[in-house]
Amino acid sequence: MFDSYEWNTIEGKGNAENLTLLSLSTCGFCRSARQYLKDREVAFRYLELDTLPPEEKTELKGEFKPNSAGALLFPPW
Amino acid sequence: MINDIEDFIQKSADKNGWALQPDETFLKTVKEGLVKNLETYGYYLCPCREGWGNRFKDRDITCPCDYAEADIKESGNCYCGLFLSKEAAAAGKTPQAIPDLRPDEKYPD
């Protein structure tokens, strides 16, 4: 899943592909979440959805939706 | 543009009796996000929400959003963490990510 995107990968403990963060470049809580993981040296990968081309964003959301209880929200809580 | 956003958020806070996010780093991210959204969409779309790119469809999530007053009353901060209640700010409360009061069906598919 999500394999065809150009992920930003943060190296750390574990496999970055096991922890995927969908975020917005404009969101303070999204940035805080990334910093939280970095501070704990956890490996993860992330995308900023608002920076993607519209078609790519729609495709990604389509892949994500079956795993979501409702609308795709930033930040998750 | 930075002067404009400073003016906009301060006036919005003053008018509604709210305080601004005291964490300078967090505040900078939100302010830059609002400016980016203004440049992209032409209005201050909430920096923590995905919009339609249409000012009418996004009216309720244009800053300060329609949900801010209830969020601040209930949780002490608005959805994106830009505005806090004066009580929460005085208590040094760290803004928390909170549930979104906006109905799911108002978001793009």
Write down the mean pLDDT value for chain B: 95
- Residue B13: phi and psi, rounded to 5, are -65, -45
Interchain CB distance below 8 Å, B48 and A70:
no
CATH code for the domain in which residue A30 is found: 3.40.30.10
Range(s) of the domain holding residue B85 = 20-91
* B64 assigned to some structural domain: yes
CATH number at residue B30: 3.90.460.10
Per-residue model confidence as pLDDT tens digits over A19-60: 999 999 999 999 999 999 999 999 999 999 999 998 898 898
Domain that holds residue A45: 8-67
A63 reaches B (C-beta below 8 A): no
Considering the domain boundaries, does residue B65 fall inside one? Answer: yes
B50 inside 8 A of chain A by CB: yes
Number of folded domains that form chain B: 1
pLDDT for B78-91, tens place per residue? 999 999 999 999 99
Band of residue B1 on the pLDDT scale cut at 50, 70, 90: low
Question: Which residue shows structure tokens 């963490």?
Answer: B81
pLDDT at residue number A34: 95
| Prediction ipTM score | 0.91
pTM for the model: 0.92
Residue B25 lies in a domain: yes
Question: Per the domain annotation, does A60 fall within a domain?
Answer: yes
B29/A77 CB distance under 8 A: no
**Which residues make Cβ contacts (< 8 Å) with residue A19, sequence separation at least 6?**
A37, A42, A43, A44, A45
Judged by average pLDDT, the poorest of A61-70, B31-40, B72-81 is A61-70
